[in-house]
Copies of this chain bind each other. A is one copy, B any other.
Amino acid sequence: MTLADVQEAARRIEGVAVRTPLVRTPALGEGLWLKPETLQPTGAFKIRGAVNAVRKLPERARAAGVVTHSSGNHGQALAYAAREAKVPCWVVVPEGAPQVKVDAMRDLGAEIVLVPPPERPGRAAELAAEHGAALIPPFDHPDVIAGQGTIALEILADLPEVEVVAVPVGGGGLISGVALAVKALRPGVRVVGVEPELAGETAESLRTGNLTTWPVEQTYRTVADGVRTHPSELTFAHIQSYVDDIVTVPEEAIRSAVGVLARGARLVVEPSGALTMAAYATGALPPGRTVAVLSGGNIDPALFRDLL
């Protein structure tokens, strides 16, 4: 993958993904700019990768539709992208997934296929074969990564004097695309990933040089439900090549950051989206003019009320 992939993605997603502004507020400090991907149509950056992947499919393949097995923000984003392209979309969802998320994808026209959790990848592959549809995974795909990287182009255009870009890390699709583009254009800008301490497997992997995964019983304890996954070989390779550092933040700082962003920046941000604010507030980031990517805003209203 090269910078050109990201630049082409930027042209491809124009008019569907929102070009989010950088936002500052005196309450949060002089040196901090927020990149609120919460403003995207489905409330998260995932729309960038999904739209890029769908639009990049050759016309005949696209017409057959798309499949994924994410019930989270990527599922909604792919359903949105498929509706926009007027092609069918299947989302394989584990039994027991939150009804509100299932409803959101169904409202966007996706066909929901409920299966026992372990059968998800298999069922998705079957659906793809059966319908000739393209499998678009949440992060382990060059077109998805290139789409997420468009965030970096906007940051560098809007704040050429940026020194640090902070990005949440789950599966690593977002940071892979962002770091690739930042380092191609401005190698001096530091790209720093942020994970919860409870799901700090990528920080550990980057330190040891080996892709490590932690037990699900551990990572599922973090409130930041969007980053409980771990990188693939593809995204980990990008992280090793382009990311300066990955830092971790405690649960209390993540919970607190959600409230700080609501009160201080008038943004509804989910815990995973607030990781970068938590890192800034706890002094975990290197010094300098900092852009904190707020990756998404799909938070359960009851939890949000608690954190306000």
Contact = CB atoms under 8 A, between A and B. Distances in A.
A201 to B, nearest CB: 28
Interface residues of A, number: 32
Interface string A282-308: 000000000000000110010011001
Given A25-B41, A26-B107, A297 B18 contact: no
A43 interface: yes
Contacts of A41: 23-26
Contacts of A308: 301, 304-305, 308
B20 A43 contact: no
A80 B25 CA distance: 10
Contact of A26 (B22, B80, B304): B80
Copies, count: 2
Q: Counting chain B CB atoms within 10 Å of each CB, which of A26, A38, A43, A266 scores highest?
A: A266
A246 to B, nearest CB: 26
A276 B41 CA distance: 19
Contacts of A25: 41-43
A36 interface: yes
Nearest to A26: B108
B266 A266 contact: no
A269 B117 CA distance: 38
Interface string A20-41: 1111111100000000101101
A18 B108 CA distance: 31
Contact of A21 (B21, B266, B305): B21
A118 to B, nearest CB: 31
Contacts of A38: 266
Contacts of A43: 25, 266
A273 to B, nearest CB: 9
B36 A39 contact: yes
Contacts of A108: 26
Interface of A: 18-27, 36, 38-39, 41-43, 80, 104, 107-108, 262-263, 266-269, 297-298, 301, 304-305, 308
Given A20-B21, A25-B41, A301-B308, 7 more contacts: A26-B42, A43-B266, A262-B268, A266-B267, A267-B268, A304-B308, A305-B308
